[in-house]
Structure 1
Amino acid sequence: MPIRPGMTIPLPGPLHAQRDRIVELADLGFTDVWTAESDGGDGLTPLALTSVWEPRLRLGTAILPAYTRAPACMAQSAASLADAAPGRFVLGIGSSSNVIVERWNGIPFEEPYRKVRDLVRFLRDAFTGEKVTQRYDTFEIQGFRLGIRPEQPPSIVVAALREAMLKMAGREADGAITNWLAPGDVPQVAAALRAGAGGDDRELVARIFVCPSANADVVRAGARRAIAAYMNVPVYAAFQEWLGRGEQLAAMWSAWGAGDRKQALGEIPDSVVDDLVVHGSPDACRSRIQEYFDNGVTTSALAILPFDPDLDHWDAVQSLAPAAGR
């Protein structure tokens, strides 16, 4: 599959003022832009603007939670953007987490595997333009017909962290999205995705966390806070255990569970930080990012982390761009 270097948007600053930077992303050699949806902007508005500002960029969501838009609303949202940007939109959906779904949105976080699988199946049905009357395992649709018929239905990729979800993504969707993994973890993830697809190739998108700074102590201190925040969410803890980091993170989990946050941060080894967050000189970062591609990632969605206060975000974008290494 083609290698696609991507960047996370929106960039810092007002969304309305980002047109020139978005255009420059394409000039710098990025092929994709990817959004998320948690506690900041929604996942679709930045892509809608980008679809008009820069037609060279492919647009992707990484991810829209499967719970926070009802199925018909999700189909309408996806079809609208696919209609606005024919052949350039990739719909990334996933279960998200109990924190975002349940604590922040007041929606029960139940049966995440079946919920995501059922939504993928419904979207496939809806994108045909036929009337959908169907009982899925986690919801029922009575007589919905999508009134927008995009020239090209969007590709669907599924957020997947462990074997069962990765295999489902390979079987039911066009690929998978993953994050918080090292280059050395990619073959294990890619193998599960390929197994679900019956040996066929699927797109594998990786959100890669990067801080191009040589100030290792500052970066590691910030990275420890981010790692602790994520790795104490059950789905991410289980992912790291599946990848084989359970022993390395056991002391952190123990301290966190006991309520000692400071001790928990101190228990995260440098080796784990260096596995999960790309940092160092821009050349070292680009080399490390290439390892993800070499090991089976097909699409990157770089997420620049502002751990070094002396780091300018746009300077970091330029230093990590594909054109920078030529």
Structure 2
Amino acid sequence: LALDTAWLTVGGAAPDPFAVFTAAAHRAERITFGTSIVPTYPRHPITMAQGAMTVDQVAPGRLKLGVGPSHRPGIEGTWGLEFNKPLSHLREYVTILNALLNEGEVDFDGEQLHAHIRIAQPTQVKVMISALRTGSFRLSGELTEGGISWMCPLPYIRDVATPAQQEGADAAGRPKPAMIVHTPIVVSEDREAVRAAARQQFGFYQRLPFYSRMLQAAGFEEAAGGEFTDRMADGLIISGSANEVADRVRSLGEYGVDEMLAAIVQLPEGGREARRSTLELLGELASE
């Protein structure tokens, strides 16, 4: 398919991404691997680094390690862990990962996290974080190799996220890192089918506080009421004919996007054909 990166979403009791990527690296010798996103609270950063190091040993320089705090319902409801000061937690977490993976040792005592250890040698792992609001985009610019958004409208990426990321990079005296947009996409001209699939697959995000506030800031005031509207589906999902989808993907750079992480929408009818068409189109676009 000529795609550049194989990404895995990670949540709940999903298979461990580092085990999956380590196995895949023996067969896939060219592409890079990315996590979007490994929740931070259930894993101490040293444990996270151990998994990343395993992949880096068999696929040097080919892992994009995306981490993030996730959300209170999942962390407290599923794991039974306290979800406290997530942005401060993420800053401490990334500080530890950067030191250990990039420098080979860490000696850190923070408000929430502590780490004192060294490894045999630094790795080539690229540390990235999830980002929805200005604080996390700013942090991505300051400390990481990239910010990974999800369900963020493209105008919001251009007008809010990218300036915040640039601000963080400027404050740290470093180049702006990658803006990676994880976006729903499907080749289909059946707008009602796409909207129905969106309500089924994504209709709960606006009920999560972080997403609700982001969507409201992006101009979708109805997110405050917990409803996933057709207007939201149309604004968040790249869909249409093959030519229309291709044009929108080609225009992503105009919104400050450096890389697209594609989440193919599963249609209730004709889903297999739509998925095949979407994958083929993405492969063609990646080869341009």
Same fold (TM over 0.5): yes
Out of 134, 155, 178, the residue aligned to residue 108 of structure 2 is 134
2:234 aligns with: 274
Q: Percent of counterpart pairs with the same letter?
A: 24
1:290 aligns with: 250
Partner Cα separation in structure 2 for residue 88 and residue 234 of structure 1: 33
Q: Deviations over 1:227-258 (max 9, x none)?
A: 43111011111111222322x434xx1xx4xx
Out of 15, 26, 30, the residue aligned to residue 3 of structure 2 is 30
TM-score scaled by structure 2?
0.89
Give the drift of 1:83: 1.7
Out of 155, 171, 189, the residue aligned to residue 184 of structure 1 is 155
Q: Contact (CA 8 Å) 2:129, 2:147: kept in 1 or not?
A: yes
Q: 1:114 to 1:324 in 2, by over 3 A?
A: closer
Q: Deviations over 1:123-146 (max 9, x none)?
A: 12222223x3421121222x4223
The one-letter amino acid of 2:283's match is: A
In the TM superposition, 1:1-326 aligns within 5 A as 28-39=1-12, 40-127=14-101, 128-130=103-105, 132-141=106-115, 143-147=116-120, 149=121, 152-188=123-159, 189-198=161-170, 200-246=175-221, 248-250=222-224, 253=225, 256=226, 264-265=227-228, 268=229, 270-312=230-272, 313-323=275-285
Q: Deviations over 1:235-287 (max 9, x none)?
A: 111111222322x434xx1xx4xxxxxxx45xx1x322111011222222222
Q: Contact (CA 8 Å) 2:188, 2:194: kept in 1 or not?
A: yes
Q: Contact (CA 8 Å) 1:35, 1:44: kept in 2 or not?
A: no
Secondary structure at 1:200's aligned position in 2? coil
Partner Cα separation in structure 2 for residue 76 and residue 227 of structure 1: 32
Q: 1:316 to 1:164 in 2, by over 3 A?
A: same
TM-score scaled by structure 1?
0.80
Q: Contact (CA 8 Å) 1:90, 1:156: kept in 2 or not?
A: yes
Residue-pair matches, total: 280
Partner Cα separation in structure 2 for residue 286 and residue 137 of structure 1: 47
If asked which structure has higher relative contact order (CA below 8 Å, sep 6+), I would say 1
The one-letter amino acid of 1:156's match is: V
Secondary structure at 1:99's aligned position in 2? helix
* RMSD, aligned α-carbons: 2.0
Partner Cα separation in structure 2 for residue 106 and residue 273 of structure 1: 32
Q: Structure 1: where are the runs of 5+ without partners?
A: 1-27, 257-263
The one-letter amino acid of 1:286's match is: A
Give the drift of 1:43: 2.6
Give the drift of 1:323: 4.7
Secondary structure at 2:149's aligned position in 1? strand
Give the drift of 1:73: 0.6
Q: Contact (CA 8 Å) 1:30, 1:57: kept in 2 or not?
A: yes
Q: 1:134 to 1:184 in 2, by over 3 A?
A: closer
The one-letter amino acid of 1:178's match is: S
The one-letter amino acid of 1:282's match is: A
